[in-house]
Chains A and B, each alone.
Chain A
Amino acid sequence: MNKAQKRAWLILAISIATLLASAAVIIFVHINHIDVIGLSKPTLTGRILGVVMTVPLILIVVTAWRLPQKDFDERDKLIDHKTVIWGYMGAFIFLVGAGWFIIIANHLGTIKSMLIIYLIYLAYFVSASVSSIAALIQYSLGGKNGE
């Protein structure tokens, strides 16, 4: 396992842990009858979700930024480029899906602006997860063709 694969595993672990933690927070506030979309207790929910999502976001940005310079050849670069594309696709599909879900579920057409921020956070973690999975799959398949 090279450094790029280790990095992919680390980012995947952080992203999945964040998505699970966020889901736990949302389930908790639902059980306690706190309206997440309406944010009847915006300070509490906002702070919890803010910490749960911002800390790992910074961790991922720092981890992703530190590309391994040593032992990083043309195949790694090619795989890295492809993973970025997969990551963007994942985020785009998630945001479009979430948009349609909101339109269908919330037919009144009004949402809190805080929800948009959370969706962007979530899209980032979905993107990070998808790109990490794409990297791991490509490494296992060999990386296909050079440029």
Chain B
Amino acid sequence: MANKIKNNIRQFRFENNQMTQAELADKAKVTRQTIIAIEAGQYSPSLELAIKIAKAFGKKVDDVFEYEE
């Protein structure tokens, strides 16, 4: 089943001084592997982690993650 949650993490990373996946992982307090999996759409994060990632970019969760009907 295709993942319906899309994200703009890659785009926001580049907009934030080309933030690396490791830097984002540090800010969200998860492993780089988890960021890679989320960015690739292979893993849908919990609400808590989604908020942490959005905060790392100074954005709202809705801006970073989208649910496709």
Contacts and interface: CB of A to CB of B under 8 A. Distances in A.
Q: Are the chains A and B members of one assembly?
A: yes
B37 A143 contact: yes
A60 to B, nearest CB: 24
Interface in B29-52: 29-31, 33-34, 37, 40, 42-46, 48-49
Contacts, number: 45
A130 B45 CA distance: 25
B43 A73 contact: no
Contacts of A73: 29-31, 34, 49
A44 to B, nearest CB: 48
A144 B44 contact: yes
Contacts of A146: 43-46, 49
Interface of B: 29-31, 33-34, 37, 40, 42-46, 48-49
B35 to A, nearest CB: 10
Contacts of B42: 141-144
A75 interface: yes
Nearest to B30: A73
Given A2-B31, A73-B31, A76-B31, A142 B37 contact: yes
A75 B44 CA distance: 9
Interface of A: 2, 71-76, 139, 141-147
A125 B46 CA distance: 33
B23 to A, nearest CB: 15
A143 B49 CA distance: 15
Given A74-B49, A147-B46, A142 B29 contact: no
A144 B43 contact: yes
Given A75-B37, A143-B37, A146-B49, 11 more contacts: A2-B31, A73-B34, A74-B49, A75-B34, A75-B45, A141-B42, A142-B40, A142-B42, A143-B34, A144-B43, A144-B44
Nearest to A142: B42
A142 B46 contact: no
Contacts of B48: 74
A74 B30 CA distance: 8
